[in-house]
Amino acid sequence: MVIGFAHRGARAQHPDNTLPAFVAALALGATGLESDAWLTADGVAVLDHDGVARRGLRRRAIRTVLRADLPRHIPELADLYAIPGAADVEVSLDVKDPAAVPAILEAAGSARRRLWLCGGDLSALAAWRGADADVRLVHSSALRRLGPDPLAHPARLGDVGADALNLRQGEWTPELVEACHAAGIQAFGWDAQQAETIDRLVAMGIDAVYSDHVEMMVAALRTA
C-alpha cells in the first residue's frame, strides 16, 4: 500500500505543523503525517517548519528558546503522538536540527518502528542508524545531487543503512524506482499536489507520496 503523507498536516485546511492540522489529516484518512523537527534550548523535540519563534516583531531561533517560552501553536512531538491514532500511522520527520534525534526517538517510544527520519547528509543517516536499529531513514535529496549515475545511488543508501530515497515528484523515472527496489530501498515522492501526479507515481511503483491536499491524496490513492 502506498503511504499518503499529509505534508505538515492538513495544511490546506489549518495552519501547518499545528495539532489541528494533524488531527484533521487523520480524520481525512491520511496514512502518514509529515512534519519538521527542531530541538528547544531545554532539549524538547518540537514541530515547526523554519525553526524560528516569533513574538510580535521579535524572532528567535527555536534552539535558543525554552519550551515554555515558545508560542503556544508550536507542538511537541509528544503532543503529536498523543493524538488518538497517530501512533498507528507512519510519521515522517524532516530533521532540521540533528541534535534533536535522541529527543525524537525518546518521544516516539515504541512508535519509532513507524517513524521515518529524513535528512540530506548520508553521514548523518549512518549515525542515526547507529543510534537506533528500528527507526526508518530517508535520504531527502534532488536528482542533480545523486551523482553522474543516479541509478547507482540506491546501492549507496543501502550501505549506510537508509530505507528510502525521497525526491520531488517530477524527478522520478520508472528506471530509478526500479533501481531503488532492486537495492531494497523505497521510493518516496514529495510535492504530489494533483491526482494526475499521484496516478503517475503509483504507476511507476512509488512507495509513498507527500501532499498538502489530504482529501485529494486519499481519494487518488484509493482509486489508483
**pLDDT per residue as tens digits for the range 81-128:** 999 999 999 999 999 999 999 999 999 999 999 999 999 999 999 999
The pLDDT of residue 121: 97
pLDDT one-digit tens code per residue, 167-211: 999 999 999 999 999 999 999 999 999 999 999 999 999 999 999
Helices (H), 28-160: 77-82, 101-108, 122-131, 153-159
Task: State the Cα–Cα distance between residues 83 and 18, nearest whole angstrom.
Answer: 12
pLDDT one-digit tens code per residue, 20-47: 999 999 999 999 999 999 999 999 999 9
Task: State the Cα–Cα distance between residues 193 and 28, nearest whole angstrom.
Answer: 16
Q: How large is the average pLDDT for residues 122-136?
A: 95
Mean pLDDT of the chain: 96
The pLDDT of residue 55: 75
Domain boundaries, the chain: 3-39+77-223
pLDDT one-digit tens code per residue, 51-77: 999 877 789 999 999 999 999 999 999
Residue 84 DSSP symbol: T
pTM, to two decimals: 0.96
Kindly report the number of other CB atoms within 10 A of residue 133's CB atom.
8
Task: State the Cα–Cα distance between residues 177 and 182, nearest whole angstrom.
Answer: 9
Task: State the Cα–Cα distance between residues 12 and 209, nearest whole angstrom.
Answer: 16
Top-tier CATH class for 3-39+77-223: alpha beta
Residue whose C-alpha is closest to residue 108's, from 33, 172, 173: 33
The pLDDT of residue 58: 84
Give yes or no for residue 1 having a pLDDT over 90.
Answer: yes
The pLDDT of residue 202: 98
